Chain A
């Protein structure tokens, strides 16, 4: 199962890199969500998979009886998921604000900090700032 999930992680990473490299902020966010999911799955797979019970200690026992799933990567992922969510929301809001200020989601035209020498929206890529 690890090998199949490894390939799935690869697929998710490839998809997220492609989305992140697109010049669209919205696609960027999608890529980010995919990337954090991919990393979580990578951690989980790295901790090995067992078709066994969750890492709980049964009533009446003092240690787990028989093999249980690896608890350590689970603990790592659990916080990673919540942090990923908080940061994702922050980036959402940041991009939303940037869109309101600049009027585009095309990163090539978000250049307040580093103005290009001569970049004008080309005919192949119409940018229509929307009124909010």
Chain B
């Protein structure tokens, strides 16, 4: 047991080699992207549609790719210890690695359609990951919600991409980025803008689609750390950044992104206060971060973009670390409630250190990377095109609240004295706290050497967005300027908010209770609306009565046929009564009588023999008009049908002497049947009147002997000219036979004593 247990855990560590290897591969290319090179790799996929399997690696892709692979490696290791010998550990790792690859593909795709494919792959794998604990209905519900919201957005985005493709004439990002203003000048810009934004906003949980992200916290904590802090929710941000060079600029872009970003940031920051579940707190602060990123991408100045990309890195580092810390607390204490545990720092020094590093970065203390991020953020806010004053105010407020939340997360669980009676807690396994410690440590390292980060990571990414600007002056101390002043304000007000947190919380809860409409409620209402609107026609059309279904099908056919004939404006073509030999009249008359007999008879044997007459009569007609092959086949099939019918049909009850169903219904059925017959007859009359184009037949006649060595043209068509059709047809025959055989044998098993449940 213990051997297999450790083997299973070790297997997780092996899985971490994949993201770690990819990280190393990316890191090797770091000098190239830092030198503003774009690495491309492509093979044709659907060349007819302009869809290639093309990847590109520039500064922006590099920044996102490094975060994805680094977080992927850390979380793979962490998951091994977190999950232990879980029953579905294998499935978990496969999904995790698939998601990681899809995410990496997304940020490296050089083709919009390919990007969409990866986008949907992340939606799909994240659906499975959020719903990993599928035995809980809450997890299933959240997974579905995330799937619906982000899936719907993804489809809107695809529509936007198709419009872009139509306007720009290419799906290639590289080409698109070289086309300059083409998208900004098209009258389709508003449509493209809204559709692409729908994708980005749903994926990155922007207001009013923000509700799915906190709900998605039902996922296992390492999944949340990966998907909902560092990677998936950043896909929308990536999309906005990627298309920034070709879409940004018009007021619609600036105003929409700035205002929705600000709204999301403030909503997230405020709602974070009202929570007691530490994981939900983190989810709401993630909303705040996503809002700030969107806000800054609304800007067009270099400073705003630098702020967005730097904060992306800052946030990825501290937020995934904090998620992992919460996961450790959950793992070791069994609760994520904020007020459940106290003073764990002594018992869990490693975890506490990681939490401290991450939280201090989040709060933005000097020496931490978060401090640099905050400085750059204020620099960017002051440079915004749209209401820089308000943006700065939003940034300061959001950051202030973040500082307070960071304090809550760090101080409450870790500092102070453990209360009497608290169950003793042990330090987590090294594999658990090593990851967050590494992330937190990186935060400190980057805080000390910000110029390195700027030179190798941020600057190339900003260059990829088409902004060169002067080299960033990312240093610890810029002198006494506005951003520094704002940082000081943030820190001090943040500490005040932390002290007065109970007041804010109480106020917020009252305010929330008064809020009439939440996104979640709208979503639930929409879901119910869809179900209701589905039930309505289903109840009408699909009531379980075969008669109703068939009647609708037939009536539709008749309706469409009459419409077509009427729209053609052509009266039925009737060339007068043809002169036929008496045997032909006799044959056709016999057929009609036999058909009538099948319809009216109450006796099975009469019906079967009348059907036989119909079939044999047809064979005669075929023979008369030069189709001996068909006539032969028709006769043989008739014979076999009689044999089968004799075996099966006679075991079914006789036709009821009285018709089932009401008489009026049968009269309506009869009228519909007559209409159907008339429509078919008129169509056939009209179709056979103009001379036939015999090109295809002429070809077969020409080459049947010369090319295919056969004098029977029908057979040559079957086995040579159109052999693929015949191959498909005999496959259908074989399958129908096997299916019928299975049905018969199932009955035999049941008779043999085995019970068959319908």
Contacts and interface: CB of A to CB of B under 8 A. Distances in A.
Given A15-B673, A44-B627, A125 B641 contact: no
B191 interface: no
A interface, over-half SS: helix
Given A13-B677, A15-B598, A47 B732 contact: no
A125 B588 contact: no
B725 to A, nearest CB: 7
Interface in B602-655: 604, 607, 611, 614-615, 618, 621-622, 624-630, 633-634, 637, 640-641, 644-645, 648-649, 651-653, 655
Interface in A47-94: 47-59, 61-64, 68-72, 74-75, 77-79, 81-90, 92-94
B592 A93 contact: no
Interface stretch (B8-16, B179-187, B501-509, B703-711): B703-711
Interface string B578-606: 10100010001001100110110000100
Contacts of A3: 574-575, 578, 685, 688
Contacts of A53: 626
A95 B652 contact: yes
Contact of A108 (B578, B648, B660, B713): B660
Contact of A62 (B588, B661, B706, B736): B706
A23 to B, nearest CB: 5
Contacts of B732: 83, 86-87
A71 B701 contact: yes
Interface stretch (B477-485, B518-526, B689-697): B689-697
Contacts of B611: 30, 33-34
B702 A63 contact: yes
A75 B621 contact: no
Contacts of B39: none
A18 B669 contact: yes
Interface string A10-34: 1111111111111111110110011
B136 interface: no
A99 to B, nearest CB: 6
Number of chain B interface residues as a range: 35 or more
A8 B634 CA distance: 18
Interface string B639-683: 011001100110111011011111000100110111011101110
B546 A110 contact: yes
B687 interface: yes
Nearest to A54: B626
B648 A19 contact: no
B649 A92 contact: yes
B660 A125 contact: yes
A37 B615 contact: yes
A74 B676 CA distance: 25
B700 to A, nearest CB: 6
Interface in B697-754: 697, 700-702, 704-706, 711-714, 717-718, 722, 725-726, 729, 732-733, 736-737, 739-740, 743-744, 746-747
Contacts of B544: 111, 113-116
B688 A18 contact: no
Nearest to A80: B729
A118 interface: no
B755 interface: no
B550 interface: yes
B551 interface: yes
A42 B625 contact: no
A44 B625 contact: yes
A40 to B, nearest CB: 7
A26 B651 CA distance: 11
Contacts of A90: 736-737, 739-740, 743
A86 B692 contact: no
Interface string B530-546: 00000000000011111
A71 B554 contact: no
B627 A54 contact: yes
Contacts of A116: 543-544
A64 B713 contact: yes
A58 B704 CA distance: 12
A115 B544 CA distance: 7
A102 B545 CA distance: 15
Contacts of A23: 546-547, 660-661
B758 interface: yes
A85 B637 contact: yes
Given A46-B684, A87-B736, A93-B743, A81 B595 contact: no
Contacts of A51: 624-626
A13 B676 contact: yes
B699 to A, nearest CB: 10
Nearest to B615: A37
A78 B733 contact: no
A72 B700 contact: yes
Contacts of A47: 692
The list of the 8 closest CB pairs from A to B, nearest first, reads: A10-B681, A14-B677, A69-B626, A114-B544, A18-B673, A17-B673, A75-B717, A86-B736
18 contacts: A1-B580, A3-B688, A9-B680, A17-B672, A18-B670, A21-B672, A30-B607, A51-B625, A51-B626, A63-B704, A69-B627, A81-B630, A86-B736, A88-B641, A90-B737, A92-B649, A94-B743, A105-B653
Given A26-B653, A48-B688, A64-B701, 20 more contacts: A3-B575, A8-B592, A9-B684, A13-B680, A15-B673, A17-B672, A23-B660, A23-B661, A25-B652, A33-B641, A34-B598, A41-B618, A62-B706, A71-B697, A74-B629, A78-B633, A83-B729, A85-B641, A86-B736, A94-B740
